[in-house]
C-alpha cells in the first residue's frame, strides 16, 4: 500500500483543489512541475511504483528522480496541512503559537521592544485560557531573552514559570490517569463487565499519579477529574451518586469563573457528562436542559467542536423518547443520517441502532428491521469496534423485532445463537460457581422467558410467568440498571399485562 497515496486520498474535494493551487504557487515560473504530475497520478487509479516512474519519465525512467519528487511532494503536503490547520484553528493555543513565532522572528531581526510586547500578549492569552504547555514555551522564550532591552525582570519570570510548571504537571498527570482509565474501560467493554471492582483500579491510578487530593481549580482539570470519576461510575452503574456531584461541580465553576471561548471544549465535556448522568437517573427534563446548553455552545463554537455534536444528538433523542416525544427522536436521528458530510462510520452505526429502538416504540417493526439490516457489519466486527454490550443490545433487539414481525422461527434461531455465545464465552465454573453467563447471566434468564413466549405466546398471561418476570433481574436492582435493559424488561411486562409496549416502558422509566 502506498502511504503517500493514502494520505492524499484523505483530502476532501475542496482541499484537493486548494492543494494543487498550493503546489503551483511554490514555483510559478517552472513549467511542467513533476510534483503536480505525481500528485495527479497518485490520486488516480492505483499504479505500481514502476508504472509511476514510467509515467513520470517516459523517455528515460529515472527511479532516483522519482523518489526525490515523492519526497518533495510529501514536504509540500506537510506544509499545506500545517497552513490549513492554522487557518482553521481558532483556539487560544493556536493564537499563542502564532505570537511565539512572531516574537522569535522579531528577536532574531533585532526588534526586542516589539518582541517583548508580543510575548506579553502571548502570556496573557495563554494564562487566561489555561494553556499551560504553551505558557511554558512563552516563559522559556522570555528566560532565553532576559538580557535584552525591554525585558521583564528575570526573578518575576522565573516565579511565574515555576507556578505554571506546577499547574501544567498536575494537568498532565490528570490527563495520563484519565487516558489510562479509558484504556482499561475499553478493555472491559470488549470482554464484558469486569469481574473485579473497578474502584480499586481507580484508586490505584489516582494514587500512582498523586491526584487523590487534587482540587478542580480550572475547567480543564475539573473536566479530567470528573472524567476519572465518571469512568468508575460507568462500570459500577452508580449514576445516582455521580449526577448530584457533577451538577454541583459544574454550577460552582459557572458561578466562580465561567468558560472562556477557548474553554468551550471542556465545557461541552462537562455538560455531556452531567446530562448523561441525569438521563441515567431518569431526570429527563433536566438532562435535556443541559443538552440544549451544550448545543448552543456547539453552535457558537464552529468547526473545532463539531465532533461532539453526534453524542449530544444521541442523548437528546434518548431523552425525548422518555418525555413522550418519540416522533421528535425519530426526526432527529433520521436527519442526522442524511447530513452532508455524513456521520463518522461508528456514529452512524450508533444512530441506526438507536433509531430501531424508537421505531420499535412506535410499533413500526418493519422500519426497525430495515434499519437493522442496513448496519451491514458482522457480529465479530461489531463486537471488536462497538463492544460486547452494544452487540448484545443489537441482537436482543433483532430477536424481538423478528418475533413482532411474525417470524418466530427466525427469532428462535437468534435466541439460541445469543444463548450459546454467552455460555461459550462465560462458562459455568466448577460446581456451578461462577454461574454460566458471568456478569451477563441475567441475559440468559431473560432469554429463557422470551423462549417460553416464542414457544407459546399465551404463556405470558399465566400467573406463574408473571412471578418469574417479577423476580427479574435477581442480582441487579432495576432502579440502577441501564435504561436499555429496562426497555427489554418492559417488553416482557407489556406481554404479561397485554398493554402497549411504549406505554409500559414510560411507566417503568418514570416510576
Separation of alpha carbons 436 and 429, rounded Å: 7
Most confident stretch, 16-30, 194-208, 415-429: 415-429
In the structure, what pLDDT confidence band is assigned to residue 194 with cuts at 50, 70 and 90? very low
- Please report the pLDDT score of residue 32 as a whole number: 53
Residue 479 confidence (pLDDT) above 60: no
Q: Using the predicted structure, report yes or no on whether residue 478 has a pLDDT greater than 60.
A: no
Q: Poorest-confidence range of 181-195, 302-316, 340-354? A: 181-195
- Shortest CA distance to 336 belongs to which of 315, 321, 364? 315
Q: Which of 225-239, 267-281, 404-418 has the weakest average pLDDT?
A: 225-239
- Which of 27-36, 416-425, 471-480 bottoms out in mean pLDDT, i.e. has the lowest? 471-480
User: In this structure, what C-alpha cell is assigned to residue 381?
Assistant: 466486527
How many angstroms separate the CA atoms of 505 and 489, rounded? Answer: 8
Averaged pLDDT for residues 186-205? 57
How far is it, in rounded angstroms, from Cα 441 to Cα 243? 28
**What is the C-alpha separation between 329 and 46, in angstroms, rounded?**
43
Q: What is residue 195's predicted lDDT score, i.e. its pLDDT?
A: 40
The alpha carbon of 414 is separated from its chain's Cα centroid by a whole number of angstroms, namely 30
Buried b (16+ CB within 10 A) or exposed e, 207-244: eebebeebebebbbbbbbbbbbbbbbbbbbbbbeebbe
Q: What pLDDT is recorded for position 217?
A: 55
Q: How confident is the model at residue 22 (pLDDT cuts 50, 70, 90)?
A: confident
Q: What are phi and psi of 255, to 5 degrees?
A: -70, -35
Query: What percent of the chain is modeled with pLDDT above 70?
Result: 82
Q: How confident is the model at residue 82 (pLDDT cuts 50, 70, 90)?
A: confident
Q: What pLDDT band is residue 257 in, cutting at 50, 70 and 90?
A: confident
Closest to 103 (Cα-Cα) out of 126, 132, 75: 126
Percent of the chain with pLDDT over 90: 25
- Which of 73-82, 117-126, 320-329, 386-395 has the weakest average pLDDT? 73-82
pLDDT tens per residue, range 485-503: 778 888 988 998 889 999 9
Highest mean pLDDT among 2-16, 170-184, 324-338: 324-338
| pLDDT, position 133 | 84
Instruction: Record the pTM.
Output: 0.63
pLDDT, tens only, 45-63: 888 888 888 888 888 888 8
CB-based burial of residue 271 (10 Å sphere; 0-12 exposed, 13-18 middle, 19+ buried)?
buried
Average pLDDT value for residue range 234-257: 74
**pLDDT: is 210 or 139 the higher one?**
139
Mean pLDDT across the chain: 81
Tens of pLDDT, residue by residue over 216-228, are 456 777 777 777 6
Q: What is the pLDDT of residue 98?
A: 80
Is the per-residue pLDDT at 234 higher than 60?
yes
Q: Give the range among 194-208, 209-223, 427-441 with minimum mean pLDDT.
A: 194-208
pLDDT digits (tens, 9 = 90+) for 149-168: 888 899 999 999 998 988 78
pLDDT digits over 342-375, tens only? Answer: 888 888 999 999 999 999 999 999 999 999 988 8
Amino acid at each position: 500500500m502506498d502511504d503517500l497515496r493514502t494520505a492524499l486520498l484523505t483530502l476532501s474535494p475542496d482541499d484537493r483543489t486548494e492543494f494543487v493551487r498550493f503546489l503551483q504557487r511554490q514555483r510559478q515560473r517552472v513549467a511542467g512541475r513533476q510534483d503536480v504530475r505525481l500528485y495527479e497520478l497518485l490520486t488516480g487509479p492505483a499504479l505500481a511504483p514502476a508504472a509511476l516512474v514510467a509515467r513520470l519519465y517516459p523517455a528515460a525512467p529515472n527511479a532516483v528522480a522519482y523518489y526525490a519528487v515523492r519526497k518533495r511532494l510529501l514536504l509540500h503536503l506537510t506544509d499545506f496541512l500545517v497552513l490549513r490547520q492554522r487557518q482553521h484553528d481558532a483556539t487560544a493555543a493556536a493564537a499563542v503559537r502564532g505570537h511565539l513565532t512572531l516574537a522569535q522572528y522579531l528577536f532574531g531581526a533585532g526588534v526586542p521592544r516589539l518582541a517583548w510586547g508580543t510575548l506579553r500578549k502571548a502570556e496573557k492569552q495563554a494564562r487566561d485560557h489555561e494553556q499551560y504547555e504553551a505558557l511554558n514555551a512563552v516563559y522559556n522564550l522570555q528566560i532565553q531573552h532576559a538580557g535584552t532591552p525591554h525585558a521583564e525582570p528575570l526573578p518575576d519570570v522565573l516565579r511565574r514559570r515555576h507556578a505554571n510548571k506546577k499547574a501544567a504537571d498536575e494537568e498532565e498527570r490528570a490527563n495520563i490517569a484519565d487516558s489510562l482509565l479509558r484504556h482499561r474501560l475499553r478493555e472491559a467493554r470488549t470482554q464484558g463487565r469486569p469481574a473485579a471492582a473497578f474502584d480499586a483500579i481507580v484508586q490505584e491510578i489516582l494514587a500512582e499519579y498523586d491526584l487523590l487530593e487534587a482540587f478542580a481549580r480550572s475547567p480543564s482539570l475539573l473536566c479530567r477529574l470528573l472524567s476519572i470519576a465518571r469512568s468508575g461510575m460507568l462500570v459500577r452503574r452508580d449514576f445516582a451518586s455521580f449526577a448530584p456531584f457533577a451538577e454541583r461541580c459544574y454550577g460552582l465553576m459557572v458561578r466562580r469563573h465561567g468558560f472562556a471561548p477557548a474553554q468551550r471544549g471542556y465545557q461541552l465535556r462537562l455538560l455531556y457528562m452531567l446530562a448523561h448522568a441525569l438521563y441515567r437517573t431518569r431526570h429527563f427534563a433536566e438532562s435535556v436542559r443541559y443538552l440544549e446548553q451544550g448545543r448552543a455552545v456547539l453552535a457558537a463554537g464552529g468547526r473545532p467542536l463539531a465532533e461532539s455534536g453526534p453524542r449530544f444528538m444521541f442523548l437528546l433523542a434518548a431523552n425525548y423518547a422518555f418525555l413522550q416525544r418519540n416522533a421528535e427522536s425519530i426526526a432527529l436521528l433520521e436527519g442526522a443520517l442524511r447530513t452532508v458530510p455524513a456521520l463518522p462510520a461508528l456514529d452512524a452505526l450508533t444512530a441506526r441502532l438507536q433509531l430501531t429502538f424508537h421505531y420499535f416504540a412506535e410499533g413500526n417493526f418493519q422500519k426497525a428491521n430495515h434499519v437493522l439490516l442496513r448496519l451491514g457489519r458482522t457480529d465479530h466486527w461489531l463486537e471488536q469496534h462497538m463492544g460486547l454490550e452494544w452487540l448484545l443490545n443489537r441482537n436482543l433487539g433483532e430477536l424481538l423485532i423478528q418475533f413482532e414481525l411474525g417470524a418466530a422461527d427466525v427469532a428462535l434461531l437468534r435466541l439460541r445463537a445469543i444463548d450459546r455465545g454467552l455460555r461459550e464465552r462465560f462458562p459455568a465454573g466448577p460446581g456451578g460457581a461462577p454461574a454460566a453467563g458471568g456478569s451477563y447471566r441475567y441475559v440468559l434468564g431473560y432469554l429463557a422467558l422470551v423462549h417460553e413466549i416464542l414457544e407459546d405466546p399465551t404463556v405470558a398471561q399465566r400467573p406463574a410467568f408473571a412471578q418469574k418476570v417479577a423476580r427479574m433481574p435477581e442480582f441487579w436492582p432495576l432502579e440502577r440498571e441501564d435504561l436499555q435493559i429496562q426497555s427489554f424488561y418492559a417488553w416482557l411486562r407489556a406481554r404479561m399485562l397485554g398493554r402497549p409496549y411504549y406505554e409500559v416502558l414510560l411507566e417503568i422509566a418514570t416510576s
